[in-house]
């Protein structure tokens, strides 16, 4: 268990200096300033009250740093969860969200205990780009109402239905609200080019709030929409609607939260490793994210994960140990306790502007455009995941993307797998699949002539699995009544599965019935172990397994060719 769960703080505290502590504190304060408006905006956009975003940043942020497997990871609410959280709250209420987040936390812990940290990285890039792009479009769409001040009532969760509402209520756009939002958006676009030390989002919220308050503009603010915002410590709460039915209904969304949390936190950890020359502990990170999400749910928070933008800000401002992330959480707690009344002055249109910037950055449209030049199979995965995320459901999108990617991967492996059949007497060769390097190129010139007319060579290349078994079965039909020896080359069989084993077993039975001797050459470790466990090597005879084709040919010449010549002479 120690290897699975080994928090980075245990090793980073060795030789910890006062100078690094000062850097960590400064970085933690700056990251907290960046996280404050995002936490509030993401909570509101997710359909919950503003303070729940801060609860999440405080609880999950502190635990992610304390228990995590990365030196610099900053945990908290992120835009990736917004769409799924909004859907859960709309259908199952806040209690349902607590249950789903708690279940996701447990799943993340199990991912880590099962050592799946290294497996997550095999999620295809088109799937990640597809659903993040889809989420970005969904975030953009969800913020139009608050950004424009449109009087559209409660928005439906469906993408197309939202746009129908917008079109029907376009005449209700309030230009006073739109002007404040546009100003906030402009500040966030221009300010980073002037000064990168002060976060543009914070400056935009301060200026927008001041303008609305000083000029007494009729612009909706956090305080006017959410009258009972708590500024106290988050209460420990157990969901009141636990039931088998509820758990069954939320198992899909909970898995999606866990999947997103795992992928985003590990992507963030990998990115930070490259920036500081470190190496994160993926399984420890997953367990920490699981504990952080479970705790967040029990203290009224929403799902959390490693936040790439905040992690990068932490690194750029000198944070190098988990202390920075813990300081960030403590600073946000102090803001919650003492400065929350000021947050009531923030205009909703300015928060919507913050999320529009988040959506733009999250879209990674340049990466999306580059992927459109990729192979057609990758484009299909990208567009399928993107379309399902936008028009249907993130749960369905991820499931469909993974299944489609798996099917296309198997097809690719099946395409590169081949079975080459060669009759030695005439130098004749036929290929099932693409042309491979010839036996002569690999083994030196092979003997030819009528004395070899009863010898057949099979050469299997690539993964020998269910996707390629049909090629092997097709090649098996070449074994005729005159065949006396069958040599099977397996040097390039990188892996073999049960379906291939069954096809192999069928060929061996057929050869036994026809008194055909089977010889194996160059069998790699995994296929060799599988053939031995299944008893096939014993049936063939281990003395007929050779490291290469040349010794196998020599054995055939000694055992069969000379015998045949002697029989003809007599």
Sketch out the chain's domains with CATH numbers: 32-406 (no CATH), 417-569 (3.30.750.24)
Closest listed residue to residue 310, CA positions, set 178, 474, 199, 475:
199
Q: What is the DSSP string of 227-261?
A: -----SPPPP---S---HHHHHHHHHHHHHHHHHH
Three-class secondary structure assignment of 496-538: ECHHHHHHHHHHHHHHHHCCCEEEEECCCHHHHHHHHHCCHHH
What would the pLDDT profile of 312-338 be if each residue is shown by its tens digit?
Answer: 999 989 999 999 999 999 999 999 999
pLDDT value for 570: 52
Q: In whole angstroms, how large is the CA radius of gyration of the chain? A: 31
pLDDT value for 180: 97
pLDDT value for 430: 42
Lowest mean pLDDT among 293-307, 452-466, 495-509: 452-466
Question: How far is residue 33's CA from residue 202's CA, in Å, rounded to a whole number?
Answer: 7
Alpha-carbon torsion (234, 235, 236, 241), positive or negative:
negative
Q: Calculate mean pLDDT across residues 375-389.
A: 92
pTM of whole model > 0.85?
no
> How confident is the prediction for the chain on average, in pLDDT?
87
When pLDDT is cut at 50, 70 and 90, the band that residue 438 belongs to is very low
- Greater confidence (84 vs 442) lies with 84
What would the pLDDT profile of 92-143 be if each residue is shown by its tens digit?
Answer: 999 999 999 999 999 999 999 999 988 776 778 898 889 889 999 999 999 9
When pLDDT is cut at 50, 70 and 90, the band that residue 199 belongs to is confident
What would the pLDDT profile of 35-79 be if each residue is shown by its tens digit?
Answer: 999 999 999 999 999 999 999 999 999 999 999 999 999 999 999
């Amino acid at each position: 268990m120690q290897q699975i769960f080994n928090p980075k703080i245990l090793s980073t505290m060795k030789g910890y200096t006062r100078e690094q502590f000062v850097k960590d504190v400064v970085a933690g304060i700056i990251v907290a300033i960046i996280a404050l408006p995002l936490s509030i905006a993401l909570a509101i956009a997710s359909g919950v009250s503003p303070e729940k975003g801060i609860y999440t940043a405080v609880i999950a942020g502190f635990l992610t740093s304390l228990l995590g497997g990365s030196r610099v990871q900053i945990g908290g609410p992120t835009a990736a969860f917004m769409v799924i959280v909004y859907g859960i709250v709309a259908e199952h209420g806040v209690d349902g969200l607590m249950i789903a987040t708690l279940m996701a936390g447990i799943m993340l812990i199990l991912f880590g205990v099962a050592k799946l940290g290294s497996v997550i990285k095999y999620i295809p890039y088109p799937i990640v780009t597809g659903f993040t792009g889809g989420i970005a479009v969904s975030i953009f769409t969800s913020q139009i109402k608050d950004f424009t001040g449109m009087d559209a009532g409660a928005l439906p969760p469906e993408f197309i239905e939202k746009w129908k509402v917008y079109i029907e209520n376009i005449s209700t756009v309030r230009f006073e609200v739109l002007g404040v939002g546009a100003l906030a958006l402009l500040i966030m676009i221009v300010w980073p080019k002037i000064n990168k030390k002060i976060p543009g989002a914070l400056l935009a919220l301060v200026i927008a709030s001041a303008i609305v308050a000083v000029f007494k503009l009729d612009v909706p603010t956090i305080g006017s929409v959410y009258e009972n915002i708590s500024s106290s410590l988050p209460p420990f709460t157990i969901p009141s609607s636990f039931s088998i039915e509820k758990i069954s209904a939320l198992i899909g969304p909970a898995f999606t939260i866990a999947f997103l949390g795992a992928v985003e936190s590990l992507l963030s950890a990998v990115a930070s490793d490259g920036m500081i020359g470190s190496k994160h502990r993926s399984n420890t990170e997953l367990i920490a994210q699981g504990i952080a999400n479970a705790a967040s749910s029990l203290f009224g928070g929403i799902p959390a994960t490693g936040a790439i933008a905040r992690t990068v800000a932490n690194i750029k401002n000198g944070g190098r140990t988990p202390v920075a992330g813990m300081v960030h959480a403590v600073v946000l707690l102090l803001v919650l306790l003492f400065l929350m009344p000021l947050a009531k002055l923030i205009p909703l249109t300015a928060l919507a502007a913050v999320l529009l910037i988040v959506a733009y950055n999250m879209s990674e449209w340049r990466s999306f455009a580059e992927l459109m030049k990729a192979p057609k199979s990758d484009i299909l995965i990208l567009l399928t995941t993107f379309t399902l995320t936008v028009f249907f459901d993130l749960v369905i999108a991820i499931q469909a993307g993974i299944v489609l990617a798996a099917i296309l991967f198997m097809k690719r492996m099946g395409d590169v797998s081949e079975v080459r059949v060669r009759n030695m007497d005439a130098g004749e060769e036929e290929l099932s699949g693409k042309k491979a390097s010839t036996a002569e190129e690999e083994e030196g010139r092979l003997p030819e002539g009528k004395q070899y007319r009863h010898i057949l060579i099979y050469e299997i290349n690539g993964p020998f699995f269910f996707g390629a078994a049909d090629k092997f079965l097709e090649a098996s039909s070449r074994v005729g009544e005159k065949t006396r020896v069958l040599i099977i080359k397996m040097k390039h069989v990188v892996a073999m599965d049960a379906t291939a084993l069954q096809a192999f077993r069928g060929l061996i039975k057929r050869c036994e019935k026809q008194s055909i001797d089977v010889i194996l050459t160059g069998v790699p470790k995994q296929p060799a172990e599988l053939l031995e466990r299944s008893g096939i090597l014993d049936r063939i005879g281990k003395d007929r397994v050779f490291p290469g084709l040349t010794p196998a040919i020599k054995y055939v010449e000694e055992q069969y060719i000379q015998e045949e010549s002697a029989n003809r002479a007599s």
